[in-house]
């Protein structure tokens, strides 16, 4: 598991490399205008430029590390990640206890059902006007919208996860003298973890979609902001460099989630880590 399977990695790269090669060919042959589709090389160049620090390294101004990450891309990525993380923590953090209560208690579920089912289908981006009215400009409206985006996937999966907990675990725990709070924390929560993690995964995806939209509202940095800014200047290569960065972060998060899954579900049948 820890050893990289070079063969699989290599065969997984065949398709992307072919696509990039064809793309480069189309651009070199001049079939499309660079304004509409810049060549992959131009995008890569722009990406490196975007990544590198704006100013030359000056030893007296601070540490080398701080300089290395002072590029625009790093700041944008950090800005977007910050909003995603805070929004996700608020949305997911609220959804988890509510989901456990709704999953475990039919009366609470019945009381909440209509409200949840009416609010759930509203796309988080539809909250844009309200987010601005309520929270003004800057990070708060963006975080608010991301929280909404993260809330529902975690909520719904937690409810389903808790509802499918085999009643025999509850009986065994009650037989051992477990109180209601012990049942919640030590039995229902871990038993529902596979479902909750699936919800977290969906929530992270949704949060990323919304962070790009939300950054069109008056924030001074972030990948969404930068893509939009590049569009205004018709820097198509920079638009694509920004998009590519989002893809890379998504890939990194997915790998991270897989590792977390494997660790948290190491007890689960059919998972060998």
Partner 1 sequence: MNPTQIQVQAVNKIFKTGGKEVVALRDINLDIPEGQFVCLLGPSGCGKSTLLNAVAGFALPSTGAITVNGATVVGPGPDRGMVFQEYALFPWMTVEQNIGFGLEIKGMDKADIHKRVGDLLGMLGLSDFRQRFPKDLSGGMRQRVAIARVLALDSPIMLMDEPFGALDALTRRNLQDELLRIWAELKKTIIFVTHSIEEAIYLADRIVVMTYRPGTVKRDILVDLPRLRDPSSAPFNALKRELGQMVMEEQQRHHNDELKMAAVD
Q: Which is nearer to partner 1, 259 or 268 (CB)?
A: 268
- On the 0-12 / 13-18 / 19+ scale of CB atoms within 10 A, 224 is buried
Q: Which residue has the tokens 């290599």?
A: 10
CB 235 within 8 A of CB 36: no
Least Å distance, CB 157 to partner 1, is 17
Least Å distance, CB 57 to partner 1, is 50
Q: Which is nearer to partner 1, 45 or 182 (CB)?
A: 182
Q: Which is nearer to partner 1, 85 or 183 (CB)?
A: 183
Q: What are the residues binding partner 1 (CB under 8 A)? A: 168-169, 171-179, 182, 186-187, 190-191, 193, 266-269
Tokens found for residue 151: 């809330």
218: which DSSP letter?
T
Q: Which is nearer to partner 1, 111 or 259 (CB)?
A: 259
Least Å distance, CB 199 to partner 1, is 17
CB 198 within 8 A of CB 189: no
Q: Which is nearer to partner 1, 180 or 234 (CB)?
A: 180
CB 126 within 8 A of CB 241: no
Q: Which is nearer to partner 1, 166 or 254 (CB)?
A: 166
Least Å distance, CB 263 to partner 1, is 12
Q: Which is nearer to partner 1, 14 or 176 (CB)?
A: 176
Cα separation, 78 vs 82, in Å, equals 6
Q: How far is CA 243 from the centre of its chain?
A: 14
- Nearest CA to 210 out of 132, 125, 128 is that of 125
Least Å distance, CB 102 to partner 1, is 22
Cα separation, 131 vs 126, in Å, equals 9
Least Å distance, CB 81 to partner 1, is 30
- Nearest CA to 158 out of 253, 91, 205, 255 is that of 91
Cα separation, 166 vs 180, in Å, equals 16
Cα separation, 118 vs 186, in Å, equals 32
Least Å distance, CB 183 to partner 1, is 10
């Amino acid at each position: 598991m820890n050893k990289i399977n070079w063969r699989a990695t290599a065969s997984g790269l065949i398709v992307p490399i072919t696509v990039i090669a064809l793309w480069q060919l189309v651009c070199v042959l001049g079939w499309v205008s660079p304004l509409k589709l810049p060549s992959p090389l131009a995008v890569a160049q722009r990406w490196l430029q975007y990544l590198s620090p704006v100013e030359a390294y000056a030893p007296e101004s601070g540490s080398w590390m701080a300089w290395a990450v002072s590029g625009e891309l790093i700041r944008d990525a950090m800005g977007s990640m910050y909003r995603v993380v805070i929004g996700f923590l608020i949305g997911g953090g609220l959804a988890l206890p509510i989901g456990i209560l709704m999953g475990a208690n039919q009366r609470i579920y019945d009381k909440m059902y209509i409200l949840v089912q009416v609010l759930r289908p509203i796309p988080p981006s539809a909250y844009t006007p309200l987010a601005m009215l309520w929270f003004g400009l800057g990070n708060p409206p963006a975080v608010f919208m991301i929280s909404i985006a993260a809330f529902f996937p975690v909520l719904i999966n937690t409810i389903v996860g808790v509802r499918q907990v085999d009643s025999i675990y509850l009986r065994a725990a009650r037989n051992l003298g477990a109180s209601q709070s012990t049942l919640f924390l030590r039995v229902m929560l871990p038993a529902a973890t596979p479902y909750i993690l699936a919800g977290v995964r969906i929530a992270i995806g949704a949060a990323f979609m919304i962070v790009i939209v939300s950054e069109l509202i008056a924030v001074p940095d972030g990948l969404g902001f930068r893509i939009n800014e590049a569009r205004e200047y018709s820097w198509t290569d920079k638009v694509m460099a920004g998009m590519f960065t989002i893809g890379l972060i998504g890939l990194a998060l997915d790998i991270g989630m897989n590792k977390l899954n494997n660790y948290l579900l190491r007890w689960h049948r059919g998972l060998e880590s």
